[in-house]
Amino acid sequence: MSILVRQAILVSLTGVGLVGLSLVLSRRGLLSFRYGVGWLAVGLALIVGGLGLGWVDSISKSLGVTPTTLVLVGVAGGLLAICVQLSISLSGSREHIRDLTETVALLDARVQSLEMHEP
C-alpha cells in the first residue's frame, strides 16, 4: 500500500471520527445545532479531502509542496477560521451575560425599593 493511500485512509478515518463525535455530542445536547453543523462540515471536508488525495497530489505538485503539507495547511486554516468564529461568538456571549447581569441587578434594586414602600 503506497504512502498516499495510507494518508488518504488516515485523513478519511479522522473525518469519520469527527463526524461521529459531532453527532454524538449534538444528540446529547452538549453541542448546539450551529456548532454541530460546523464540526460536521469539517469532518465531511476531511473525508472528501482524504478520498480525493490523488487530486490533492496534482495540486500539491503544481505548488511544489507534498500532499500531506497541503492537507495539513488546509485543515489548520479551517481550524483557525473556526477558532476565530468561536472567539467572536464567545465575546458576544460575554457581552450578553454582562448586559443581563446588569439588568437583573437594576431590577433587583427596583423590587427592593417597591417592597420598602409597600403598605
Partner 1 sequence: MRVLVAIPAFNEAETITSVVSAVVGAGYDCVVIDDGSVDATGARARAAGATVLPLSVNLGVGGGLRCAFRYAVYHGYSRVVQCDADGQHPVDQIERLVAAAERGPHALVIGSRFAEGGSSFPVRGLRRWAMLTLASRVTRAAGKPFTDTSSGFRCISEPLLGQFARDYPRHYLADTFEALLIAARAGYPIDEVAVDMKARQGGVASASSLKSTGYLARALLSGMMGLHHDIDSYATVTAANAARSSS
Asked if 52 and 12 touch (Cβ cutoff 8 Å), the reply is: no
- Of 58, 85, 87, 101, the residue at the interface with partner 1 (CB under 8 A) is 101
Using CB under 8 A, which of the segments 29-37, 57-65, 82-90, 100-108 binds partner 1? 100-108
104 binds partner 1 (CB under 8 A): yes
Q: How far is the CB of 27 from partner 1 (least distance, A)?
A: 30
How far apart CA 11 and CA 91 sit, in angstroms, is: 32
Single residue of 108, 114, 115, 118 touching partner 1 by CB under 8 A: 108
Between 5 and 100, CB nearer to partner 1: 100
Site size toward partner 1 (CB under 8 A) is 11
Distances (CA, A) of 60 to 30, 56, 68, 79: 38, 6, 9, 20
CA distances from 111 to 7, 89, 98, 101, 114 (A): 64, 33, 20, 15, 5
Does 102 bind partner 1 (CB under 8 A)? Our answer is yes
Residue with cell 452538549: 30
* Helices 53-63 + 67-116 axis angle, to 10: 100
| Under rule CB under 8 A, residue 88 binds partner 1 | no
Contacting residues toward partner 1, per CB under 8 A: 97-98, 101-102, 104-106, 108-109, 112-113
